[in-house]
Amino acid sequence: MKKKILIISGGISKERAISLDTGRQVAKELSKNGYKVKITEPNFNLLKIIKSFKPKKIFNALHGQYGEDGYIQTILEGIKIPYTHSGVISSALAMDKELSKKIFIKNKILTPKFILYEFNKKKTVLLNLIQKKLKFPVVIKPINEGSSVNVFICSKNNIFKKLRVLKNYKKIIIEEFIPGREIQAAIVGKKKLGAIELKPKRTFYDYQAKYNVNAKTQHLIPVNLSKKDYNNLMNVTMKAHKLIHCRGVSRSDFKFFNKKFYLLEINTQPGMTKLSLVPEIARYHGISFIKLLELILKDASIQK
């Protein structure tokens, strides 16, 4: 019997369903390969379950708020059991789109220009600011969500209608819209895993395009890039991974336009479902799902 692995999935974020799917897929694969596995929610019984199950490592299968923003990581640090994916500070930085973009800009990684919006701004002030700094169309999104939850491409005519959908968020990020190709690249441990291109049938690679099998998003691998462009892509991906001090696995999302890669964001808890991109990239490069999970588990640790 291999090691006991406790998988934490579910949670209360808007990505709960995806997290549960990730947890099930990971549990199924580990179980059939000799691991003793238990799945739990991150609720009040968590510490009791950890104490009784006595796992060697914890696989963090949570997505979204409280799961990949440093919150659960802070709890796991106190337990002193190695856990997968990035630590407290790295998770918080990657989840906060304002902070991570500032790190990218400071370190000369190209990322779309942006402004922050708080709901006390007058409409005319915001419109003038957008015209001056960004131009329409723009992308609006919460500062701390994943999986393209509540992300919208907006024109001058519909921006305030879309902003009303986001009224429960304290701060919104508004960034310039970059057209072009949707390309995502992954790092596992210290290895440049590879990249994949998405061609969604929808306006962009939104939540439905990611997780609805009927959305018929086209996955292209290998990505049609010159060797120089591909190497540049993977070098930028590794640079971002290191700057945020990620561990385990990360996936960086890019737009490729006018021969330039624009880094949109970095994801420290990429999905492990049947439609997820990191397992697909790994599979193309000869790394099975169980091998991928074992590489992630190998990198599990307690933050130093």
pLDDT digit string, tens, across residues 31-59: 999 999 999 999 989 999 999 999 999 99
- Up-side HSE of residue 150: CA atoms within 13 Å toward CB? 22
State the pLDDT at residue 81. Answer: 92
**Architecture category of domain 114-176 in CATH:** 2-Layer Sandwich (3.30)
Averaged confidence pLDDT in the chain: 89
pLDDT digit string, tens, across residues 250-294: 999 999 999 999 999 999 999 998 778 999 999 999 999 999 999
CATH number of 93-109+180-298: 3.30.470.20
User: What's the CA angle centered on 98, arms 95 and 103, to 5 degrees?
Assistant: 90
- Tell me the catalytic residues: 15, 147, 211, 251, 253, 265, 267, 271
Give which of 270, 268, 269, 273 is closest to 289, Cα–Cα. 273
Q: Where in the chain is the domain with CATH 3.30.470.20?
A: 93-109+180-298
Checking DSSP bridges between strand 57-60 and strand 4-8, what pairing results, if any?
parallel
Q: Residue 230 is encoded by which pair of tokens?
A: 């591909």
pLDDT category at 1 given cuts 50, 70, 90 is: low
State the pLDDT at residue 100. Answer: 94
Q: Where in the chain is the domain with CATH 3.30.1490.20?
A: 114-176
State the pLDDT at residue 42. Answer: 92
- Confidence (pTM): 0.89
DSSP assignment of 88-148: HHHHHHHH-HHHHHHHHHHTT-----EEEE-TTS-HHHHHHHHHHHT-SSEEEEETT--TT
Q: Where in the chain is the domain with CATH 3.40.50.20?
A: 4-85
| Residue 112, pLDDT above cutoff 60 | yes
State the pLDDT at residue 2. Answer: 72
Residue 58 in contact with residue 76, Cβ under 8 Å?
Answer: yes
Residue 63 in contact with residue 13, Cβ under 8 Å?
Answer: yes
Q: Which residue has the higher pLDDT, 124 or 229?
A: 229
CATH number of 4-85: 3.40.50.20
According to DSSP H, which parts of the chain are helical? 16-31, 46-53, 71-79, 88-95, 97-106, 123-133, 159-165, 207-211, 227-243, 277-284, 289-298
Q: Is 259 helix (H, G, I), strand (E, B) or coil?
A: coil
Residue 173 in contact with residue 140, Cβ under 8 Å?
Answer: yes
pLDDT digit string, tens, across residues 195-249: 999 987 755 544 444 444 555 778 999 999 999 999 999 999 999 999 999 999 9
State the pLDDT at residue 206. Answer: 47
Cα gap 55→81, rounded to integer Å: 8
* Mean pLDDT computed over 98-107: 95
